[in-house]
Chain A
Amino acid sequence: MKATFKSASELLFPLQYRGKALALLLLQPQRRLHVREIARLTGTVAGTMNKELDRLQRAGLLEKHRVGNQLQYCANQQHPVYPELSALLRKTIGLTDVLTLALMPVAERITVAFVFGSIARASDTATSDVDVIIIGRVEFGEAINLLYDAQTDLQREINPKVFSPEEWTASLVAQSSFVQDVLLKPKLFLIGAQCDLDQLAELGQDRPA
């Protein structure tokens, strides 16, 4: 049996919530986000994320701001390790984060987005393309132009595949071999999480094939 592959980011940030929170906030230090937003964008549970954000804030890595009755977090750029830590994140967890950031302007219209293919399987070579599936109300041309600059950041070509939620569910019902293959193989979630995919699949079960 093949030994379980651990990426550099998994080894360096074994606590999933910590890695995700740091990547999201340190790679876009100008943004202040509230807990629910952070949880949604990272596909995590708000309650657990809240505790992690609190820990990171107390350690001085994040700043906490109260806006009305909302708590917002952002990176503390004055922290002595901020430059090194953000560089480390960019190079490890960075890939998914660069893509999530690029999709930000249309995040409201996306149900779920993830990387599939060789990068998600961690069997990529230096020249592998980044295959992305976006399920939501986004146009193909829109996705291409949003992801265009990320190609330069990542030094890789990005191929988005855009589905409407209905089309995705219909492909599942029709047992499309492509979609079934994607479901079985590893994914790196950019927006939303596995539960959002499960929900789309459940919608299909109510429908006749």
Chain B
Amino acid sequence: MTSTNLLNLAKIGQLDPIPLSMALVKRMLMTARQRLRDAELTQNSDETRFDCAYTAIRALADIGLHLQGFRTSTSKPGHHQTVIQSLAHTLDVDAATVRVLDGLRKQRNLADYDGELVTTAALHECLEQGKILLGRVENTLRQRVDWESSGA
């Protein structure tokens, strides 16, 4: 069942409907896993590690949307924010966690556009949240019949 919140976002053009492709979901999942592995590499700078973990979180949130038959409309500003806020409706993420993930999004903007440094606390949070969200996505996928039949 599609949440009315998602349908409303689609109505105002923040989301575009797309046909579900388990092959695409699989590729997105591989991206997320790879980025999380990259984020663990301590020879990288904290900024790079943070960026990788954040990209993983976004890929995982994108999977959540995709499983509901949507993707963010990249022509609209704020599509990162949209995909993170939609986690409450796609993967049933609690409000406090959505706030933290949105906080990480803002940190990423400040690091990328204002040259602010990434603190250990922010990096640690991003890694932890990435792992938790990966577990959540894997769990969701395991419960789907079409995921098993896709041979992943």
Residues of A within 8 A of B117 (CB): 171, 176, 178-179
Chain B residues with CB below 8 A from A178, complex form: 115-117
A148 contacts across to B, CB distance below 8 A: 99
* Shortest beta-carbon distance from A163 to chain B in Å: 5
- Is B122 an interface position by the 8 A CB rule? yes
CB of B107 within 8 A of CB of A164, answer no
Contacts of B104 in A (CB 8 A): 140
How many of chain A's residues have a CB under 8 angstroms from any CB in B? 22
The residue from B96, B110, B115, B124 contacting A140, defined by CB atoms under 8 A apart: B124
Given that A144-B100, A145-B100, A159-B110 are contacting pairs, would A139 and B125 also be in contact in the complex, using a CB cutoff of 8 Å?
yes
Does B72 touch A at the CB level, under 8 Å? no
Using a CB-CB cutoff of 8 Å, which residues 124-166 of chain A contact chain B? 129, 138-141, 143-145, 148, 157, 159-164
Is B37 an interface position by the 8 A CB rule?
no
A202 at the interface (CB under 8 A from B): no
B106 contacts across to A, CB distance below 8 A: 129, 157, 159
Cβ–Cβ contact A139 & B103, under 8 A: no
User: B57 CB to closest chain A CB, in angstroms?
Assistant: 13
A-side contacts of B96, CB under 8 Å: 141, 145
Which of B97, B99, B115 gathers most chain A CB within 10 Å?
B99
Nearest-CB residue, chain B, relative to A138: B121
B116–A140 touching, CB < 8 Å: no
Main secondary structure of the interface of B (DSSP, over half): helix
Q: Which of A55-107 contact B (CB under 8 A)?
A: none
> Is B119 at the interface (CB under 8 A from chain A)?
yes
Find chain B residues with CB under 8 A from A198 CB.
none
B119 touches A167 (CB 8 A): yes
B119, A161: Cβ atoms closer than 8 Å: yes
Let me know if B129 is at the binding interface, CB within 8 A.
yes
CB < 8 Å neighbour of A144 from B99, B115, B116: B99
Question: Do A140 and B99 have beta carbons less than 8 Å apart?
Answer: no
List of A residues within 8 angstroms of B110 by Cβ: 159
A101 to chain B, nearest CB (A): 18
Q: Indicate if the CB atoms of B116 and A161 lie closer than 8 Å.
A: yes
Expressed in whole angstroms, the Cα–Cα distance for A26 and B61 within the complex equals 43
Whole-angstrom distance between the Cβ of A89 and the nearest chain B Cβ: 28
| Bound form: Cα–Cα A159–B102 in Å | 11
A164 to B116, CA, bound (A): 16
CA distance A164 to B100 in the complex (A): 18
CB distance from A196 to the nearest CB of B (A): 18
Query: Chain A contacts of B5 at CB under 8 A?
Result: none
B103 touches A163 (CB 8 A): no
Q: Which residues of B contact A177 (CB under 8 A)?
A: 115
Given A159-B107, A160-B103: A141 touches B116 (CB 8 Å cut-off): no
Enumerate chain A interface residues (CB-CB to B < 8 A).
129, 138-141, 143-145, 148, 157, 159-164, 167, 171, 176-179
Since A129-B106, A141-B97 are in contact, a sample of 10 more A-B pairs with Cβ atoms closer than 8 Å, ordered by chain A residue number, is A140-B100, A141-B125, A143-B121, A144-B99, A148-B99, A160-B103, A162-B119, A163-B120, A167-B120, A177-B115
